[in-house]
Chain A
Amino acid sequence: MAVSAAEGIDIRPLNLAAMVREASITALVVFALAIGLVGFETLDVPGGVAIRTRFADVAVVMALAFVGRIALILLREHRPRPVLIVAPILTAIMLVLLLSETIFGSESGAALKRFMPFHDPVVLWGVVAVTVILAVRAAYAQTHVSSSLTLEERDARMDRIGAGVQRAARLLGPLLLGAAIVLPFMPFADRRVLDIGVLVLMYVMLGWGLNIVVGLAGLLDLGYVAFYAVGAYSFALLATQFDVSFWVALPFAGLMAGTAGVLLGFPVLRLRGDYLAIVTLGFGEMIRVILLNWYSFTGGPDGVSGIPRPSFFGLAEFSRSVPDGTAFHEMFGLEYASIHRIIFLFYLILAMALVVNVFTMRIRKLPIGRAWEALREDETACRSLGINPRNTKLTAFGIGAMFAGFAGSFFATRQGFISPESFTFIESAVILAIVVLGGFGSQIGVVIAAVVLIGLPEFFRDLQQYRMLAFGMAMVLIMLWRPAGLLAHREPTLRLFGRDKKPETNS
């Protein structure tokens, strides 16, 4: 019998038959999943579609699932030693195979490659990652007294970590801000990095805007992208039809989106929870369909093109030569570089996002902001305290929509072209996912979630279809470990008398 470092842990004799049965069931489930997804591949051939079978791959997948399950059972039964031996060996073999061409030269390397179970390097690295994780877990189990925490204990621990991160966030916030400010001047900050930065910041801004509606006021809004669209089209049409500049149109676009928010909010805000979510989803789609079909006004599916780029606060343009006016590089005596515009856009969206953040932080301390939070907790109690729930909700809805409108006009001026395709439901879902994964109401959580959900997939665009797999994986993991969101810990905003001590436990 294996001697575990743990004492007092009940080590039952291994039931081999049960083990094999459990692993077989796992392999069977994998078979059911893999036979369709992996077993058949459709190929484009001249004159139609052909099907290629990949039954060998299915068999390999099943074998891996079987072995992996056995390893998990052994870990569960406090017998980490066999896993500790086998997992590193498997890892080593896989690594040798993967790196064979580098190690042995291309000729014998290619010969070895034939022994690899799959042909896609990403899948192979995935297998390596799993074996490494198993090995680490086995090593941990071997050296530590295994303590199986209950769900509550784990939750409490994660909450403590959340609270710790929240406290660290006071440092993390300025740190991230500093990083964002110096980013354009870093040597690695090429056009691609900055473009990703702008994109992430756009979603941070949208996330912070939606956080007012969902996180603070607790109104589940699935049609947030509608106000983003209203802002974008307001600016695009003003700019192309009436030649209004970005800086003049920006407040107007926000106003239009805010008004749309209030108008849509008025009839729907008597609904709560799921019902509100469904109606807002419908309104979001309605706006998109209107944009799509009102051809004479919005250009329908053709969209609006030729939207002017923002100028440097109306003082200078970002182009090589300006016929009547100043060019940015001439104004500052620089060499012309197309990246100047990107850097400007980066700072612009950073500033806009920060405005939303500062606004939210301030308003949370004001009666209206606290009324939003109270409304989220208990609407009936709020009413009996003299709060008008309808007006309070409408302000949250309208202000959230206004910020979406600002972000929308930034989107329009950045892209230079907009069409209804940019404002589909999936956008609303992604923004909502950022808020939910960040932890309702947490400002820094939104930033982290935006980086994880928008930045990483963009950065790993090379991985092609596995990108979305990683997106899904991130979602599943967060919901497993942190169902209330990454940083779902609420700090009181009111500290009175300036000498607030830790709450006393006895009195």
Chain B
Amino acid sequence: MDTMRDRFAPVVTHLLDEDPRVAVVVAEIGKVALAEAMRRHPHRVINVGIREQLLVGAAAGLALTGMRPVVHTFASFLVERPFEQVKLDLGHQNAGAVLVSAAASFDWPAGGYTHMAPGDVALLDTLDGWTVQVPGHPDEAETLLRHAVAAGDDKVYVRLSESANRRGHRVDGRGLRTVREGRAGVVVAVGPMLDAVLAATEGLEVTVLYATTVRPFDAAALRRATQAAGTDVVLVEPYLAGTSTGAVSEALVDVPHRILGLGVGRRELRKYGTVEEHVAAHGLDAASLRERIGAFVAVPARA
């Protein structure tokens, strides 16, 4: 299967052909796949070199002239390193952009902690007005990229990952989707976590909601799900554990509820190896999830 990132260049190349407002800005990373787009649109595909403050600042300048900038690099260099540019050059200037990250929380474990960004969504949560898309499959990534670019002058973050579910779901760039219905709690699986969550909750009496759009958080859909399934809520996120705990808490502010926030741990592992080893180390493999979710909802698996 191709990856979400494999879809990025073909999709934006097509969007560049279609829409004269679209500009793509990169900082070396990802430029090879954009060679054809750069040849066709030399003034709208811009490689600023290894300069991430300029990457975001220049995108803001493009937006201020009416363009729709699509900015792409690894999450750690897109959100963390130039965070003040994201806050000020986009947010404070009232300028929109589509930030498309790669490498996610630990797509390249052998690359070590410098190339891991489990905190990206939590950081964006400190800012106003960001839409956050976390596709779980290359087909979803393609759809959500198109939605993001078409979203006027909105600020949109699209988090691409090498990890993916076996099959894609129909996504609309908005709310939560009900994948399974039960009566003993609600599990919200974000993006690439869905397959592991479905395996982990097999036979448990829980409702599983699938989230690819995590901000704004679909509070209404969560509330609807809790009417039948109760207000024990488990979040399984492919980035920092507990990132969406506040959003769930806000959605259920007027009803007693419990929340378990699962995701990537804060502690630096100082380990290399494989994605599977890191998934296990953070307790995000199906067996660990089953144990933790099962204990939380306290419903024994049916025989």
Q: Do A and B come from one complex?
A: no
Interfacial residues, chain A to chain B (CB-CB below 8 A)? none
- Chain B residues with a Cβ under 8 A of chain A: none
